[in-house]
Amino acid sequence: MQRAQKAQTETPGAVSPEISAAAQKVGSGMKRFAKRFMVHVAGLLFFAPAISSLTTETFDTGLAAVLAYLAFICLLPRGPVNERSWYIPAAAGLVQWAIAGLLGAPLALGAFIGGLQAFALRAILKKFQMGFEWVAAFFLLVGLTGIFTSTAVSSLSWGVIISMIPVAAAALAVAYAVGRLSEAKNKQELVADILKRFKELSSHEHLGSGVLAEIEILADRASQFFTTINKGGHTDDTVIGKVDVVSRDLLNIQSGRSAPERLLRSMQDLSEELDKILEARGGPSSGIIDEYRGYEQQVRALLIAKRDLASDSAKQIDTIAYAAYGIIRQMRSDPADRPGGERFLKRYLKATADMVKERKRLEEASATNRSDALNTALARSDEVLEHLAQAFRDEDQYLMTNDTVNFTAELNALDTFMKMRGH
């Protein structure tokens, strides 16, 4: 009992785990800051006297040694070799050192100005996110104070410091150009990786024919879009990022699982967004949009409309959409397939769209009033959709084998069958 009462009295004063973790993080940061500070102090105490004994500067040898040490810690490049926030400031600092020497600055003063230049540029390129490197700023401020309180070098300092402006401008221009080249290279690699993913996805049959049709449409739109990036001032990083995310999500779908509805809607929305971008950047004369785009839009409209149908009917629409895109692909790759393919698509894409509307109406009516007449109409629409799906599959296959003559009789039979069913 006493222990319980003691625990209750201690609970209000207990520190939460979040506060404890934050305090530990702050304490660790302070220790690292103090450690970095003490390292520089030790460096000045041991490094500066050694330089002081070797220097031949015409001003205070102690100040010269301090400036030389600060130049060393600022000019020494650290981090990855290919990180421009390290090697460009270091190179600019060396150039600044040389210019300071040409302007008559003593060796240590010139080195210090070069180090100051390197530190300032590094802060700008890192967007001032320097962490514990800011410890060096305190010592640089000490060095500047020593320079301007020394009558022997203060007259030289202003001219040398002013020379930092054009050097900094040139270094930032080089950093910008290098950054643009690096970004362009990274973007090209990302685009190549995305296209490779789409090619791999085309063989993932477990996703289902409807999803594969969506992937084909999105892949085609993306490949057309990628030919326009960085033209006319377009950067399109956000859109490329969206395509990248969708392609990764599709590739991560495991065998035996279907794509989530959220991902399907993202694909359709992204295809529509790419359509609008391509429309804004030019019509068919630009080579960006070809004459088959209208058929693709009809296919995508079917895939959107099927959302309101029962699962069995939706599967037939998936089959039709996938085969229809196969027909479009054949027409693009082989001009000889264009006349027959266009006749088929003009004839049956509209018939399929009308059938989807009719099927939706029947299903909505049957939900509230199931009758023999409605059951008969639903059964007939099932037959029509099944025959249409088979016709689309056959047309896709016949175009691949260039065997369209024998298919004419089958299409006539399909037309007769649809008329008999009232379509």
Q: Are residues 256 and 202 in the same domain?
A: yes
pLDDT category at 77 given cuts 50, 70, 90 is: low
Task: Give the whole-number percent of the chain exceeding pLDDT 90.
Answer: 3
According to the model, what pLDDT value does residue 107 have?
A: 79
Higher pLDDT, 28 or 280: 280
Any long-range contacts for 264-268 (C-beta under 8 Å, 24+ apart)? 264/211, 264/214, 266/242, 267/214, 267/215, 267/218, 268/214, 268/300, 268/303, 268/304
Q: Is 1 a domain residue?
A: no
Q: Is 121 a domain residue?
A: yes
Q: Are residues 274 and 402 in the same domain?
A: no
pTM over 0.75: no
Q: Is 169 a domain residue?
A: no
Q: Is the pLDDT of residue 10 over 50?
A: no
Q: Is the pLDDT of residue 196 over 60?
A: yes
* R_g over Cα of the chain: 36
Nearest of 182, 40, 186 to residue 125 by alpha carbon: 182
Q: Are residues 208 and 247 in the same domain?
A: yes
Calculate mean pLDDT across residues 62-77: 74
The per-residue pLDDT for range 364-387, each reduced to its tens digit, is 888 777 787 888 888 888 888 888
Residue 155 token pair: 């007259």
DSSP-H helix ranges across 55-203: 61-75, 84-102, 107-125, 135-148, 154-162, 164-201
Q: Is 110 a domain residue?
A: yes
Q: Is the pLDDT of residue 170 over 90?
A: yes
Q: Are residues 147 and 225 in the same domain?
A: no
pLDDT category at 2 given cuts 50, 70, 90 is: very low
How many CB atoms are located within 10 Å of the residue 379 CB?
11
Q: Is 176 a domain residue?
A: no
Q: Is 82 a domain residue?
A: yes
Calculate mean pLDDT across residues 195-206: 84
Q: Are residues 276 and 305 in the same domain?
A: no
The per-residue pLDDT for range 280-336, each reduced to its tens digit, is 776 554 455 567 778 888 888 888 888 888 888 888 888 888 888 888 888 888 888
Q: Is the pLDDT of residue 95 over 90?
A: yes
Q: Which of 128, 162, 196 is the last residue of a domain?
A: 162
According to the model, what pLDDT value does residue 169 have?
A: 94
According to the model, what pLDDT value does residue 4 have?
A: 46
Calculate mean pLDDT across residues 270-277: 83
Give the number of domains in the chain.
Answer: 3
How many CB atoms are located within 10 Å of the residue 176 CB?
12
Q: Is 13 a domain residue?
A: no
According to the model, what pLDDT value does residue 1 have?
A: 44
According to the model, what pLDDT value does residue 322 have?
A: 87
Calculate mean pLDDT across residues 167-184: 86
Q: Are residues 143 and 34 in the same domain?
A: yes
Choose the most confident range, by mean pLDDT, from 16-20, 26-30, 120-124, 130-134: 120-124
Task: Give the whole-number percent of the chain exceeding pLDDT 70.
Answer: 71
Q: Are residues 261 and 305 in the same domain?
A: no
Q: Is the pLDDT of residue 213 over 70?
A: yes
Nearest of 222, 375, 216 to residue 300 by alpha carbon: 216
How high does pLDDT run on average in the chain? 76
Q: Are residues 198 and 133 in the same domain?
A: no
According to the model, what pLDDT value does residue 18 have?
A: 62
Q: Are residues 249 and 373 in the same domain?
A: no
Per the CB < 8 A criterion, the answer to whether 339 and 346 are in contact is no
Q: How far apart are CA 194 and CA 192, in angstroms?
A: 5
Q: Which of 162, 194, 226 is the last residue of a domain?
A: 162
The amino acid that residue 74 corresponds to is C
Q: Are residues 307 and 195 in the same domain?
A: no
Q: Is the pLDDT of residue 21 over 70?
A: no
Go through the chain and tell me how many residues it has.
Answer: 423
Q: Is the pLDDT of residue 253 over 70?
A: yes
Q: Is the pLDDT of residue 268 over 90?
A: no
Q: Are residues 157 and 56 in the same domain?
A: yes
Calculate mean pLDDT across residues 348-366: 88
| Of 45-54, 114-123, 307-316, the least confident | 45-54
Q: Is 135 a domain residue?
A: yes
Structural domain for 78, as ranges: 25-162
Higher pLDDT, 278 or 18: 278
Q: Are residues 135 and 220 in the same domain?
A: no
